[in-house]
Each structure stands twice: as structure tokens, then as C-alpha cells.
Chains A and B, each alone.
Chain A
Amino acid sequence: MNLNSFPWLSAIVLLPLVGALILPFLESKEGEDNSKPRNISLAFLFVDFLLIVAVLFKKYDPTNSSLQLVERVTWLPSIGLEWSLGVDGLSAPLMVLSGLITFLSAAASWKVKKKSNLYFGLLLIQASAQGMVFLSQDFLLFFLAWELELVPVYLLIAIWGGKKRLYAATKFILYTALASLLILISGLALSLSGDTFTLNISEITSKKVTGNLALLSYFGFLIGFGVKLPIFPLHTWLPDAHGEANAPVSMLLAGVLLKMGGYALLRFNVQILPEVHLQLAPALIILGIINIIYGALNAFAQDNVKRRIACSSVSHMGFVLLGIGAVDALGISGAMLQMISHGLIAAAMFFVTGSFYERTNTLSIPNMGGLAKVLPITFAFFLASSLASLALPGMSGFISEITVFLGITSQEGFTSLFRSITILIAAIGLVLTPIYLTFYV
């Protein structure tokens, strides 16, 4: 077989799905033994992660900014749908992140015994859908993947969540499904505009749509993807979903799902509509500042450990908005790095929270105390992830947030007053993080 023409990206996307097809045929031992579905899903996700790393290492050239390993197969010619995958610098790091986090979240689900076949099957479907979101180069395929990925997350929250799981899952699906409608309308409007109809993202980009249509589509995308990121005031599903989901699903939510919002903002709003983006960049920066401060202040009010970390996520994702709004190389690079770094750190925090919740059965901060003597390793680990989250120098959060700051200061397009106020307020947000993570009750 010719290894150069082998569809590696399709293999990455479809491999977990193959695993998901095996699981329903396993004999289910409800509530007793989950070793079979668990080990199968772990094996598939591990091989998938290795495949992602190997393909990116061997076949992908990071010095080339264009799309690589492109695969285009006409799927439904009557509506122009193509199975079109490709990888570039925007998708490559997020693929590695998504592969790692999904594998680790399956490993963190070691003790899930309730309907284990379904649980691990949903994790595998989720892995496929995520890969498709990050790799898809066809708008409709991207949209299908974006919708497909909602179903496993909804079920994972609704079946394996906490007491108010149905409320949280319904809120999640309502927010994201309504937002998807705007994404679909904006994307189709751009596909239909001009002389030719095309769903291919690079071909839509080369149409260079301008005027009111571009402006309206930009807003559609911003609201649609803003729900996922999440942007204030569309963030309210996040603390509920995190508060009710079990720890592995929270790892997926924080580690991968929020990054889809940032990725899609870069891919659609910045890449397809650069002119509108330049006009609205200050608005994005203001939204980012609100996210940083509002998320941090919200975190103070939470008694539940996971809800507090969720609000801290809202605050940290504000830096992604700041970086994207800075519209220069440093800012966008900082936004990418912040997505990677927050994915790792938030997943670590949710994971350690889940591990002591399994033992203490409480997430309420006032109900806990004096655990440092009983759980010294957990304490060290939790403290280390908190330090990472508050951007301690030497950890990834520091590099990404300082890059975003530099990106904004070096953007000559903004007045110096605007830049200094932005930096000042964002810095206040940075100071608030250590307070609510470590000292404040």
C-alpha cells in the first residue's frame, strides 16, 4: 500500500467510531464489572492518540502554513457535501490536546459502572466528533460534527451527572443547539453568496465576502461560537454543566469543548471575515475583559469546588478573546497557547477534584477542611494545578497570558489609552485568580 496516499486523517477520525460500534455487542454486566468496555475504549483512544502524534510528527510540516494531508471525497453531490479533512497550524495542536484529554478522561472513568457499555461508547463517539470538528474543511461536515458532538455530552451529563443533572443537561443542549442555528444560517449565507455555491472553507475564504452580509454572518458566528467559548452573557450553562457532570466529562468539557469555540472563532470569524474582524476587534477585547473580571468575581460566590473552577474557566477563556481581538501575530499566538494551556490545566483541576470527590462525596467547600494531613499527595497536586492556573512563571499559563498582554501592547492600531486600560483591567483579573483559588473561602 502506498503510505503517502493513505487517508491518515480519516483513520484518526474514524478509529474511535469503530470502537464505539464494538461496544454494544459486549455482554453488559450492569453495575458490576466495567473492565471490558473500559479496556476496549482505553485501547482505542490510546492508539488514536498515538496515531495523532505519529501522523503530525511524520507527515505534517509545521513550517508550512497551508492545509496539509488534505482529503476530499464527494459525499452527497446533490447538496455539495464533501468528506473533506485537512490539518494546519490551527487544528494540529488542538488535535493533540483533544486526543490526550479524551484518553485521560476515559482513564479517569475507571470506576464508572452504571451502564458502562453506553458510557464508554459515548466517550468514543465524542472522540470521533471532536476530531471531525478540528479537521473538517467542509462547512457542512464541520456543522454535522459540531452537532454530533452535542449528543454524547448531553447524554453523559444527563445520565451520569449529579442531582440536578437533567436541568444542567437541558440547559446545555438548549444553549448550544440554538446557537448552532445561527452558525448554520451564517455559514450557508456565506456559501451561497457570490457567483458560486461552495461549502469548502478555503473556497469560502477566497470569496472575500464584504458588506452587510459579512457583518451579519460575523455576528451569527460570534454568538454561535461564543456560547461554546463561552462569552459573557452566554456562559451561564457552563457552571451548571460542570457542577453536575462527573469529573471525566468535566475534563472533556473544559479541555476540549471550550477550545472548539476558540478554534471556530479563528477559523471562521478571523480567517473568512478578516475585514469585519478588524472593525470589531475592539469589541472582542471589551468582551474579553468582561469575561476575565466577571468570571473571576463569579468564582468568589461559588461554594462548590467544580462550579468555582468553571467560573475560573470563563475568566481564563477571556484571554483567548483578548488575544484574538489583538489582531496581531503575538496576540493570536497567545490565544492559541492559552487554549492549549487552559485545556491541560483545567482538565488537571477537574480531575483532582473528581478524585477527592470519589472519596469524600462532597464538593461543597464549607463541608471540607483539614485535608492536607489526610491527603498530602492530593493536596500537593491540587496546589500545583492551582499554581498553574494562576499563571505561575515556569508553567504554560504564564507564557500564554504574557504573550496575549504583549500582543495587545504591541498593537499600534489601538490608541495607547485603550491599550493601557485593557492591560490594567486584565491584570486585575489576574490578581483575583490566586485569591479565589487559594486564600478566599
Chain B
Amino acid sequence: MCRRVFFGPRIPALATVAEMNGRELTIGLSLLLPTLLIGFWPKVAINLYESSTNALSQQLTLAKLVGIISIFN
């Protein structure tokens, strides 16, 4: 997709379209910079939820144990 849209044969009708302006660049960067931040320092995001997801998986292992006990009873 990138290859075709950006390097493919030139379309004359699209030769004069305007570039992204400052506002659009700001919006785009405020989406891309967090992905870079999380990519290099995932703790930023993981810290927010880790204790809850751990508790959830803990609950799942408890449930597993209960299941085994109920079979033996």
C-alpha cells in the first residue's frame, strides 16, 4: 500500500495537493509519540494496570484449583 500510494506512477491530478499543516502534525505526533514512549519504556502503561491484571490471573488459577478439588469430591 505504501509503495503504490507514495512511489507508484505519478497521478497528474494529485501533483499539487498541499502538505499536512502544523495542526495536523501535532495531532499525529500526539498519537505516535506515546507509541514510541510505550515501545521504549513500557512500564509507563504497564504500571497503570499490572496489579489488576495480576489479580485477575490469580483469580483464574484459584478457579482452576477449585475445579480440580470438585472433581475429586
List A residues at the B interface (Cβ < 8 Å).
Answer: 56, 62-66, 88-90, 92-93, 96, 100, 104, 107-108, 110, 266, 270-271, 274-275, 277-278, 305, 308, 327-329, 331-333, 336-337, 340-341, 344-345, 347-348, 351-352, 355-356, 359-360, 365-379, 381-386, 388, 393-399, 413, 436-441
Contacts and interface: CB of A to CB of B under 8 A. Distances in A.
A107 B45 CA distance: 24
Contacts of B47: 62
Most central of A89, A383, A440 by chain B CB within 10 Å = A89
Contacts of A345: 31, 35
Nearest to A90: B52
Contacts of A336: 49, 53
B60 A375 contact: no
B5 A90 contact: no
Given A329-B57, A377-B20, A104 B48 contact: no
11 contacts: A62-B47, A89-B51, A90-B52, A344-B34, A366-B4, A369-B5, A370-B14, A377-B19, A382-B6, A388-B35, A397-B35
Interface string B27-62: 110111011101110100111111111111111101
Contacts of A96: 48
The 4 closest A-B pairs by CB, nearest first: A89-B52, A369-B8, A370-B10, A89-B49
Interface residues of B, number: 54
Contacts of B55: 65-66, 89
B73 to A, nearest CB: 14
A372 B23 contact: no
B25 to A, nearest CB: 7
B22 to A, nearest CB: 11
A133 to B, nearest CB: 17
Nearest to A300: B1
Q: Chain B interface secondary structure, helix, strand, loop or mixed?
A: helix
B59 A89 contact: no
A439 B6 CA distance: 11
B7 interface: yes
A86 to B, nearest CB: 12
Contact of A93 (B3, B4, B23, B45): B45
A395 B34 CA distance: 9
B15 interface: yes
A37 to B, nearest CB: 17
Contact of B51 (A63, A337, A341, A344): A63
B2 A90 contact: no
B40 to A, nearest CB: 6
Given A89-B52, A356-B17, A375-B17, A278 B63 contact: yes
Contacts of B54: 65, 329, 333
Contacts of B64: 278, 413
A381 B29 CA distance: 9
A371 B5 contact: yes
A85 to B, nearest CB: 16
B3 A439 contact: yes
A440 B2 CA distance: 8
A25 to B, nearest CB: 27
Contact of A275 (B45, B51, B63): B63
Nearest to B52: A89
Contacts of A278: 60, 63-64, 67
Contacts of B56: 90, 266, 270-271, 332
Nearest to B63: A274
A360 B59 contact: no
Contact of A365 (B4, B34, B39, B45): B4
A388 B31 CA distance: 11
Contacts of B45: 93, 337, 340, 396
Contacts of B49: 62, 89-90, 92-93, 333, 336
Contact of B11 (A66, A89, A368): A368
B51 A65 contact: yes
Contact of B25 (A104, A360, A377, A383): A377
A94 B13 CA distance: 42
Nearest to B37: A396
B67 A365 contact: no
Contacts of A379: 6
A397 B52 CA distance: 21
B42 to A, nearest CB: 5
Given A369-B10, A395-B35, A270 B60 contact: yes
